[in-house]
Amino acid sequence: MSAYSWMKSLAARTEGHRERIFAAEEFLWKHPATGYREWKASEYLAARFKEMGYVPRLAGDIPGFYADLDTGRPGPRVALLGELDSVLCASHPEADPDTGAVHACGHHAQCAALLGAAATLREPEFTDMLCGSVRFMAVPAEELLELSYREELRQRGVIGYFGGKVEFLRRGYFEGVGMALLLHVGGPAGTLKFKAGNNGCILKNVRITGRAAHAGGAPHEGINALYAANLGLAAINALRETFRERDHIRVHPILTQAGRAVNVIPDQVTLESYVRGATLEAFSRENGRVNRALAGAAAALGARIAISDRPGYMPLKNDPELGAAVRGVAEALCGPDKVVLSPEWDTGCTDMGDLSCVMPVVQPSIGGAQGQGHGDDYRIVDRESACVLAAKILAASAVALLSDGGARAQQIIERGNTPFATTEDYFRAIDALALDCEAVQYNDDGTATLAWQNPGLRRNDKKEGNC
């Protein structure tokens, strides 16, 4: 405990910023917005950082910013993160009545905690203990929603990638960052839970085109795109028993357009989906099989199908060394019995996984919420835990990593074992996931040709299709 002789003072200083923290939590809860639409949240937080003497670097054409606490002394750069966006859950009693947006994910509490940590570390007592710098990052678009909207932004050149952290990485906002820490919100108050990691995923937009006809008078003249979609979904379901349990595959399509008039054979159907898995190899392999199922179903009914795949998120592997450092801080603040190290694998996805491809990261869960994440009963029930305690852990982790000349942070960086040696290697890997494919070609000789996968993902399996 003597190693953390400063901890009691840090906790007290953070508690002194309680009003600032709670005001942010309340404002953000009342102003939810989905990814790349979080302008109110971004402007509010940037203004609060300015009030504390920080100089936020705004992303500009998208919400979000970062602000540095630079000690002027050589040493590593540690990133502390908060996510700006909400989910969509119109049935939540406090959802925005116009958009259905609500922070049933706890991101508003993350950002309130980030603000509290920035306020604490700004005080000379703690700044003087640090070397290097702390980069506070308010990042947009962690929840992978509204895929068509994000594709529109990509087509316009506003973004290159759907996830906010991936986009920030593309823009160079993580330049010089040696490691990153974010606290998710979930579980019993006063606890901090560490999991092994999270799934990664590919994102899918699919358009099935049939031929309209009078549904009662001449259905034989139509090609029912909705039936083709239903057949494709049934084929995907038939694949499920072949998914290996260790791969943690999850496929969950939704129809976003499925016909407009009951007396017209549907000629345009669109669907969105993820294909999730524990490894890049697993989810890219199963994504090819999902595409084959959809293409085969369209061909069975004579429909056309355009498949658009985009890189979603890479699997998250929490760094054990960084995790140990944060656990030590949390045990000093909460008590050892409140810190849980679980072997559980989370089948959800996060773009913290993409950061884990190029730097040590950790994303534990801080308690203080109840209800089902992304559900209509989710809410923060203990702000002391979800916001104030979280701010203490963030700030104290930065001190533990960057005090004593940054020895702990430097050790973590040197021992870090990331999947890719460089950011460029990482981007080459995820760019290979992208696909724009007319998956069924009808030939003049009465045959059809199916194509369903990017040639770059074929590897050595000669039975797999390609575009």
What structural domains and CATH numbers belong to the chain? 2-196+318-425 (3.40.630.10), 201-313+434-457 (3.30.70.360)
Instruction: Please report, in tens digits, the pLDDT of each residue of the chain (467 residues total).
Output: 357 899 999 999 999 999 999 999 999 999 999 999 999 999 999 999 999 999 999 999 999 999 999 999 999 999 999 999 999 999 999 999 999 999 999 999 999 999 999 999 999 999 999 999 999 999 999 999 998 899 999 999 999 999 999 999 999 999 999 999 999 999 899 999 999 999 999 999 999 999 999 999 999 999 999 999 999 999 999 999 999 999 999 999 999 999 999 999 999 999 999 999 999 999 999 999 999 999 999 999 999 999 999 999 999 999 999 999 999 999 999 999 999 999 999 999 999 999 999 999 999 999 999 999 999 999 999 999 999 999 999 999 999 999 999 999 999 999 999 999 999 999 999 999 999 999 999 999 999 999 887 765 544 343 444 44
Identity of the amino acid at 341: L
Identity of the amino acid at 86: S
Identity of the amino acid at 367: G
Please report which residue ranges of 216-315 form alpha helices under DSSP H.
225-239, 280-301
Q: Any residues with CB less than 8 A from the CB of 454 and at least 6 apart, and which? A: 309, 432, 433, 434, 435, 466, 467
Nearest-angstrom CA–CA distance, 170 and 428:
12
Q: Label the pairing between strands 65-70 and 57-58.
A: antiparallel
Sign of the four-CA dihedral 230, 231, 234, 239: negative
Nearest to 228 by CA among 147, 157, 296, 144: 296
**Which residue's structure tokens are 């630079």?**
70
Tokens encoding 371? 């209800």
Task: Encode burial over 179-210: b for 16+ CB neighbours within 10 A, e otherwise.
Answer: bbbbbbbbbebbbbbbbbbbbbbbbbbbbbbb
Nearest to 64 by CA among 200, 163, 132, 185: 163
